[in-house]
Amino acid sequence: MDKTGSPSKKNIRDYWWKSMVQLNENIVGIDAAIFMHPTTWKASGHVDAFNDPLIDNKDSKKRYRADVLIEDYVAKIENKIKKEVTKAAKRFGDAFDKEQFLSANPRVVEYQTKAESILKRMGQSLEKEDLADVKSLIEELEIACPETGSRNWTDVKQFNLMFGTKLGASADTAMDLYLRPETAQGIFVNFLNVQKSGRMKLPFGIAQTGKAFRNEIVARQFIFRMREFEQMEMQFFIPPGTQKEWYKYWKEKRLKWHQSLGLGNDNYRFHDHDKLAHYADAATDIEFNFPFGFKELEGIHSRTDFDLGNHEKFAGKKLQYFDPERNENYVPYVVETSIGLDRIFLALFSKSLQEETLEDGSTRTVLKLPPVMAPTQLAVFPLVKKDGLPEIARKIVEDLKWDFAVAYDEKDAVGRRYRRQDALGTPFCITIDHQTSEDQTVTVRNRDTMAQERIAVDAIGELLKEKLSFSELLKKL
């Protein structure tokens, strides 16, 4: 995966970091510890309230998240709505009005009402910790074990998601530790350090990327849900009473960031939470249309003063800010943006990987990643392995590798080399042929259009700088 996965992940991480830390004077970046004092997780509420509702099937012995079983049932209803829309669009052609169809077609309205009422009831039952009703809902909907079809369920139970480990050389003195289930707490416990040492004035943010760990019972759907994953989080510290305004601001900002990647605005939607996490007074997910349906990509949470307030209590140390305008000390409120790096990678990868039929009837696999996110930015080919062409190609690689991710390939016919780079997502390939030694020009081939043009060797660097710059994306934000 090195030449596809990890460099692309790094590019996405860089884009997020630049959009947060580089573009905003009032957001600073940190890198906090993974291991923190265990009381941190007592204060944050994770020891007592970071649970998933689990249910076992007595026949298959398989364990599921009860809320995911119900959400999957709702996703099936949503698929039925999609099918009705596709059928009607075909029937009515250009005259088709999707919005009107969704609000007027009796079957679709019935599906929508059913989906909404199921999600509402589940949200309310989870909120009230009424796990018996979550089980009743599963039974009423006749949800069966996806593997065996059995409907013989146990009661729903809460299960804590934190991974525990030990610190210390001997068993008697060892201290229980937890691997962090979110990076956010590293930011909260460092709030005062950053505020004082950076002389930061509210509102200001602290951003961080890093690994988080959760004992997910059902880790599946490729890299959508993992036990070890990377988060990119930003806590924005604000005066109490301004949280609604900042929550709205960050919702819009983050949606724009996603849309700037060009995966299609229709592939995103907000899902406001009915069941709020233990720390939030408002929360929404930015959902993405993954190959398996709309699912959470990023969370935006208004976390009130819950975290800082609790760390104050548990640490016995003030975590307050003196506001010169209000002339008072207070515990700041927080609006957080939290995105899984692996999930945004999956979103990019799944929408970019395409199978195209070409004019001559042949097909090609092409990974149409936004060029700045591509793992390799340029591939350099000598047309043949002789006549001094490999040497010229190697020299071009040597000159450009300082600024760009460049690959060299001399194996097989050029057509096959193009296909290989298409599948890897390389946005540009250049070919060195016999004309290059005469007039120092090369052919540049564009991954998406497959168009080729001749440019001077000296112009390659400028072309790449123009096409592969983060600034064009950042200016859209």
State the residues that interact with ligand GAP by CB under 6 A. Answer: 182, 184, 214, 216, 225-226, 229, 231, 233, 296-299, 336, 338-340, 342-343
Number of H helices, E strands in the chain: 17, 21
Query: Residue 347 or residue 378: which is nearer to ligand GAP going by CB?
Result: 347
Name the residue with the smallest CB distance to ligand GAP: 340
Tell me the closest approach of the beta carbon of residue 343 to ligand GAP, in angstroms.
4
- CA gap 84, 104 in Å, rounded: 12
Identify which of residues 153 and 237 has a Cβ nearer to ligand GAP in the complex: 237
Gap between the Cα atoms of 100 and 77, Å rounded: 19
Q: Closer CB to ligand GAP, residue 111 or residue 306?
A: 306
Shortest separation between residue 222's beta carbon and ligand GAP, angstroms: 10
Look at residue 240 and give its three-state secondary structure.
coil
How long a stretch of residues is the chain?
477
The three-class DSSP label of residue 219 is coil
Distance between CA atoms of residues 205 and 194, nearest Å: 10
Phi, psi for 248 (deg, rounded to 5): -65, -45
What sign for the dihedral angle of Cα 363, 365, 369, 371? Answer: negative
The long-range contacts involving 128-131, CB below 8 angstroms and separated by at least 24 positions, are 131/53, 131/66, 131/155, 131/156, 131/157, 131/158
The answer to whether 368 and 425 have CB atoms below 8 angstroms apart is yes
Minimum distance of ligand GAP from residue 419's CB (angstroms): 32
Check if the beta carbon of residue 164 is closer than 8 Å to that of residue 197. Answer: no
Residues β-bridged to residue 287:
269, 296
Contact 232, 206 (CB under 8 A): no
Provide the CB-side half-sphere exposure for 339 (13 A, CA): 29
CB of 348 to ligand GAP, least distance (A): 13
Q: Which is nearer to ligand GAP, 282 or 383 (CB)?
A: 282
Q: How far is the CB of 198 from ligand GAP (least distance, A)?
A: 22
Contact predicate 422/365, CB 8 Å: yes
Give the shortest CB-270-to-ligand GAP separation in angstroms: 13
- Minimal distance, residue 444 CB to ligand GAP, in Å: 37
**Matching residue, tokens 């860089």:** 14
Q: Which is nearer to ligand GAP, 135 or 343 (CB)?
A: 343
Q: Rounded to the nearest whole angstrom, what is the least distance from the CB of residue 271 to ligand GAP in the complex?
A: 11
- Closest approach, Cβ 183 to ligand GAP, in A, equals 7
Cα–Cα distance, 99 to 112 (Å, whole number):
13
User: What percent of the chain is helix, strand and coil (3-state, nearest 5)?
Assistant: 40, 25, 30
